[in-house]
Structure 1
Amino acid sequence: MNRFTFFVLLLAGFAAPAFAQNAQITGTVIDSVSRESVVGAYVSVTRNAPDAKPEYVTTDVNGKFTFTGLTKQVSYLVKVSYLSYKDFTRAVTIANDTENLGIITLTEAVANLKEVKVVGQVTAMEQKGDTTQFNAAAFKTNPDATTEDLIQKMPGITVANGTVTAHGETVNRVLVDGKPFFGDDAALTLKSLPAEVVDKIEVFDKLSDQAQFTGFDDGNAQKTINIVTKPDKKMGQFGKVFAGYGLDDRYQAGGNVSFFKGNQRISVIGLSNNINNQNFSSQDLLGVSGGGGGGNRGGGSSAGNFLVGNQSGITGTNSFGLNYANKIGKVDLSGSYFFNRTSNSNVQGLSQEYFLQGGTSNQFYNENSRTNTTNSNHRLNFRIEYNIDPKNSLIITPRLSFQDNHSGSVKAGLTTLASDGSKVNSSDNSQGNSNKGYNFSNDILFRHAFEKKGRTVSVNFNTQLNDRNGRRDLYSRNMYFDNLVQGDTAMRGDTIDQRSFTHSDGITLGGNLVYTEPISTSSQLQFNYGLTVQNSNSNRDTDNLNYDDGTYSDLDSLLTNNFDNRYVTNRAGLGYRYRKNSWSANLGVDFQNTGLYSQQLAPINNKVDQSFTNILPNAMINYRSKSGTQFRAFFRSSTNQPSISQLQNVVDNSNPLSLTAGNPDLKQEYRNMFNVRYSLAGAKRPYSLNAMIFVTQTNNAIVNSTFIAQEPTTLPNGLFLERGARFTAPINVDGSWNARSFLAFGKPVAPLKLNLNITTGFNYMRSPGMINYVPNFSNTYAISQGLVVSSNISDKLDFTVSYSGNYNVVRNSIQPNLNNNYYTQGITGRVNWIFGKGFVVQSDVSHQSYRGLGEGFNQNFTLWNASIGKKFLKNNAGELKLTVFDILKQNNSITRNVTETYVQDVTNRVLTQYAMLTFTYTLRNFGKAPANNGGNYRRRDFDGGGDFPRGGDRGQGGGGRGFNN
């Protein structure tokens, strides 16, 4: 209650200065011929007074703009400018709080290129509402650059191992002109679009469709990048195709081609190679990795739903994708199909040190493994938005994926004592896995606006289905060592030969009703109610080999389980929203009751029936100025339910030396999240600054409890552990904290034609756990520093030099002698130079250094790739290039993972030196949009929230299309 009262007072304190009344001017800018929105047009407002200076904004993805902080009964001159269009000017005297200029049409200017007027120096970055907007024209790239190459020059945006990060947060979605492009795969979109078609890059937190409509943040926002394409690139065909072959039978072939015709957009991609080039996300990989040390916290997958990254090892990929988007009458339609098949081979070395207490020697576990995996995936995504009329709309978003995964592995594990290196146990095993499954989800959202501005109702229905079938064959020979007397060692062992079949399925049905009611011109109430019912079932049948008849018919009861689980959640809430001029604030509270019913049907009958009641407050304060300053503070409480895999108490013996199981007595997590953001950007500043603090505190955190047998032990659940074997299961523990801070500073160095980006971060994580029934708190402090210097000279010479360093301090509560400091750093350089008659030289060098890791893991290595090529054919459309990869033969892969129970270092197989000759053909064919393309429709503003923005205070940017169609 004290925390809740604090945020109420904080909200009132910030909202108090916001009551000064100011007027605003709004409007929508479209092309006079195609009737398309003109995105990124410069709009200036100048007061009719001596020495008055203009203020600037730009139009958003829907062609809309808003000027706030103006004065009624005062005359202003409004001017709209955009390259290749005639200027529009109008004198306006503001009579009301809001002066709406309606639809403003721009006519294309008829002029030679040398007569085109430059509207002033391009501003690299602007802060518009809660949207950070980058102008692509301010960043020079070479003619062959992709959007991924472009955004890496922008302050605070990085791309590493396929993961896109903006201002310290992982980017979950990338849109093109406000529409999905190949589902939620950020890396695929950025690699498929050439940089030359990009006009602007917008970075923002995209609210859910329902939250955009109401203006109340429902906590489901995703960090999003919206790519705004240039108006003159919306008609035509573009893309590239390539094929190459090299030493050691290395090959690559593929390409992407897009056909843009106003609203209709079709893109086709394809890829085939065996050089680790992957263009998909981890949602395409059916999770089959698990166990093996209990490293997956809480028993779940270590990869996030949207984490984009390559598999370890060497991968061969075959993929194909098709994306379609169009506006047909009142319907906005977008959809994509994507298929990929990968064959992965990996050799891995793993070293773990487990924390023990009470004078007991710590244990080292070392493992070497070889794995081959084949994965196939079909993924379909659709979005259908039907604007029935200005007051009603319907959005349907179905998603479907099918997955098929097969893997085989052999591994050898050895446990030793840290004190003297004596052997404790060892295991040599081989296993084969086969998994098939599908996932389906569908959201149906209906939104209605009443005649009274700000009075709305929206209803959302959600359905989720999943099904998975798997088979595992395991053969393992295990040895156990006992030091009976000094110098005398006895050894015994066992053999596991078994087959398991698993099946899991689930269905979730949910509904949510939201009603908003204005109580004044600047405030609004929201009432919401939601009901969710989730049912899931999981069963595993495990049979040992029957040596009498040679069949797998000997049931292993400890490894067999049939488990049903059901959640029923009722949630009702009340929210208040205030918005005036540059300030806005939300304050709300939800009341939630969750019923958990679990039943184990085999091998014994056991029931769990629990009920949880929670009060979930939320508060938000947002300030944004015309000059580009933004401050945002946000607090929210939420709950997280344990998954069925965390609840199911069946033992997973994939690694007989490290067993795992679920816990049916788990409770839900209760989280408090606090976020503060501050940013400075705009045309009047020669720099940009973004700062963020993100703090999460969790009660009943789901963490791991690990028991390491010091002698042969039978656990309370009947599981027998030999000496040195480990058993891990999830439990609930308080005291989990995660705090992150991030600072990004960007500044163009005009005299040197460079872009300078500096990033600094500090992270703190307090991870609770339990080892042999003794609580342990692992405290990790991490300081990161980054520096990027990129060229802004010309499209002929493009280079980037960067540095990243991370210093980590680890402190443990039960083993101070294991406190550890380690440091990693990377220095990279990349250059792309086009000279002479189409000659191209490319080179990139990356130096990695590791200090403070385990023995054999402290390394320095340099990866150097280089190529030389020649452009030819008309408009240099063709290029022949020779590339040498890993010239110095030093490529390596090292990662460290610190948990509450152990420290782990891992090495993976990497691709080594090869040379390849590649031919690339680039397609560029852009033309003028035909008259009346897509029909003579006018962009209509769906009058949902009245004077309340539907984009969650998105201001001028955002790609959060809402109902602005």
Structure 2
Amino acid sequence: MKGTDSRNTFNFNSTTNQYDTFNDLLSNTIDSKNNTFGTSVGLQLSKSKLRGSIALGADFLGYDNQSNYLGTTTRLKNNYVYPNVNGYMSYKIAKSKSIYTNFNYEASLPSANQLLPFENLANPLNTIIGNANLKPKETYRMYNNFNNYDYATRSGFYAYFGGNLTTNDVVSSTVYDSDFKAVTTYENVDKSYNMFTGFNVNKSYNKEKRTIKYGYGIWVNYNFNQGLTNSALYESKALQLNPRVNFSYIIQDKITITPSYKYSYNITRFDNYIINKTDNFKHSFKLETTSYWPKNVVLGNDFGYNYNSNITGGFQKDFYLWNVSLGYNFYKDQLLAKVKVYDLLNQNVNATRSISPTSITDSENTVLQQYVMFSLTYKLEKFGGKKKNDNGIFFD
């Protein structure tokens, strides 16, 4: 794989009244070439209930990177050989019950920017220097699940767990002087890892023209990361909890009511860092209703409330979002004309808090607010002699 990252910066020339004076301090070119060649041999098993495979081999990794900056050319080449391992197994316990597991190991090369050891002086507050001694990153992954789902009743249970372990992970290492001028390079750290687990339950009950559905579940994620600041090693440990619940009540051809609720909690603890911990949570409630009465008229309401805690002052922590649509079926119910008003209350915002091993960032992005959309949907009930469900052509 070849790539070129070229940055050309020009200053304003008062003589020509154009930006045509080349600024070599703010310009550089990096050419990279990565080669990966793999060989493997494997076994595959296929039975009525048991399936699986395992493959073992070797990956040959190499790079040839070059930078041109301030009239100096820096070139770096290297080659490595690493094993590769991957496999999976699935077992069908019964008609609707099965278990599955997979795993793999792989090595990946650092980027050319991380490797090339030239001093990038473009930022007067932060000099960046690559590290030619970086080792490839090695990653071990595993995933497992248990599935028990009955498609006839649309009810079931799904559980999963897994994770990954990375050795020789590549992180940025920044050292500050007494004037807070930074010099940043890249280093390999001992390890980072991620573990996750969760489950989902869905149930459905039908009686004549009435249907009740409900579901609930939770997703849990744990991350361990290491980093370097002023040559000191720090660690971050982040836990995320995401439970959710939803419910639906349906009267065929009359009305559908679907409330749902999601909660997200994040906490990160630090060792040998400027802060000890940070946390935040988010509530998301939504109520969706669709009415099919009177005949041929479809009225939809989508109302939601969102609250995000621990966002700094100046950002809106909560807002309501209400979307309304009105449609009319005609031409033997094959055409649906609809008008939708998005964000009826004009409150939609996108304020978020992101927590990483090196930063806590509050941001608000511009989002589209309060608009009207018209659409016409044509439903194709037959195609090629066979009846189709829910196929359509959309004109918006």
Q: Normalization by structure 2: what TM-score? A: 0.83
1:573 maps onto 2:31 in alignment: no
In 1, Cα distance between equivalents of 2:9 and 2:62? 31
Partner of 1:784: 242
Q: Name the stretch that deviates more: 836-845 or 675-684.
A: 675-684
1:701 maps onto 2:158 in alignment: no
1:775 maps onto 2:233 in alignment: yes
Shift of 1:892: 1.2
What residue identity is the alignment partner of 2:168? N
Partner of 2:97: 629
Partner of 1:4: none
Partner of 1:388: none
- 8 Å CA contact 2:243–2:263 kept in 1: the answer is yes
1:817 maps onto 2:289 in alignment: no
Q: What are the equivalent positions in structure 2 for 1:757-772 lying under 5 Å apart?
A: 757-772=215-230
Partner of 2:82: 614
Q: Deviations over 1:341-380 (max 9, x none)?
A: xxxxxxxxxxxxxxxxxxxxxxxxxxxxxxxxxxxxxxxx
Partner of 2:304: 846
What residue identity is the alignment partner of 1:747? K
Shift of 1:743: 0.8
Partner of 2:193: 737
What SS does the corresponding residue of 1:700 show, helix, strand or coil? strand
Shift of 1:917: 6.9
Cα separation, partners in 2 of 1:556 and 1:575, compared to 1, 3 Å: same
In 1, Cα distance between equivalents of 2:180 and 2:255? 67
Q: Deviations over 1:93-136 (max 9, x none)?
A: xxxxxxxxxxxxxxxxxxxxxxxxxxxxxxxxxxxxxxxxxxxx
Partner of 2:368: 911
Between structures 1 and 2, the one with greater strand share: 2
Residue 591 of structure 1 is aligned with which of 37, 42, 58?
A: 58
- 8 Å CA contact 1:673–1:697 kept in 2: the answer is yes
Give the alignment's Cα RMSD to 1 decimal. Answer: 3.2
1:600 maps onto 2:67 in alignment: yes
Residue 313 of structure 2 is aligned with which of 846, 855, 858?
A: 855
1:896 maps onto 2:363 in alignment: no
Partner of 1:749: 205
Cα separation, partners in 2 of 1:919 and 1:581, compared to 1, 3 Å: closer
Shift of 1:665: 4.9
Q: Which runs of 5 or more residues in structure 2 are unaligned?
A: 387-396
What SS does the corresponding residue of 1:852 show, helix, strand or coil? coil
- 8 Å CA contact 1:652–1:661 kept in 2: the answer is no
- 8 Å CA contact 1:820–1:852 kept in 2: the answer is no
In 1, Cα distance between equivalents of 2:17 and 2:37? 52
In 1, Cα distance between equivalents of 2:382 and 2:151? 31
Of the two, which has the highest radius of gyration?
A: 1
Q: Normalization by structure 1: what TM-score? A: 0.37
- 8 Å CA contact 1:561–1:650 kept in 2: the answer is no
Shift of 1:695: 0.5
Between structures 1 and 2, the one with greater helix share: 1
- 8 Å CA contact 2:322–2:344 kept in 1: the answer is yes
Q: Name the stretch that deviates more: 801-810 or 580-589.
A: 580-589
What SS does the corresponding residue of 1:741 show, helix, strand or coil? strand
Shift of 1:623: 1.2
Q: What are the equivalent positions in structure 2 for 1:829-840 lying under 5 Å apart?
A: 829-840=287-298
What residue identity is the alignment partner of 1:835? W
Q: What are the equivalent positions in structure 2 for 1:627-666 lying under 5 Å apart?
A: 627-644=95-112, 646-647=114-115, 651=120, 665-666=133-134
Q: Deviations over 1:5-56 (max 9, x none)?
A: xxxxxxxxxxxxxxxxxxxxxxxxxxxxxxxxxxxxxxxxxxxxxxxxxxxx
- 8 Å CA contact 2:337–2:377 kept in 1: the answer is no
Q: Deviations over 1:457-480 (max 9, x none)?
A: xxxxxxxxxxxxxxxxxxxxxxxx
- 8 Å CA contact 1:770–1:901 kept in 2: the answer is no
What residue identity is the alignment partner of 1:844? D
Partner of 2:332: 875
- 8 Å CA contact 1:706–1:901 kept in 2: the answer is no
- 8 Å CA contact 1:767–1:900 kept in 2: the answer is yes
In 2, Cα distance between equivalents of 1:562 and 1:626? 59
Partner of 1:62: none
Cα separation, partners in 2 of 1:683 and 1:885, compared to 1, 3 Å: closer
In 1, Cα distance between equivalents of 2:298 and 2:310? 41
Percent of aligned pairs sharing the same letter: 21
- 8 Å CA contact 1:845–1:864 kept in 2: the answer is yes
Q: What are the equivalent positions in structure 2 for 1:37-56 lying under 5 Å apart?
A: none
Q: Deviations over 1:790-814 (max 9, x none)?
A: 3443244233221111111111122
In 2, Cα distance between equivalents of 1:766 and 1:568? 30
- 8 Å CA contact 2:119–2:127 kept in 1: the answer is no
- 8 Å CA contact 2:320–2:348 kept in 1: the answer is yes
In 1, Cα distance between equivalents of 2:129 and 2:204? 54
What residue identity is the alignment partner of 2:265? Y
In 2, Cα distance between equivalents of 1:780 and 1:606? 39
- 8 Å CA contact 2:244–2:263 kept in 1: the answer is yes
Q: What are the equivalent positions in structure 2 for 1:292-303 lying under 5 Å apart?
A: none
1:689 maps onto 2:157 in alignment: yes
Q: What are the equivalent positions in structure 2 for 1:4-153 lying under 5 Å apart?
A: none
Q: Deviations over 1:733-764 (max 9, x none)?
A: 23111112121111113356122121211001
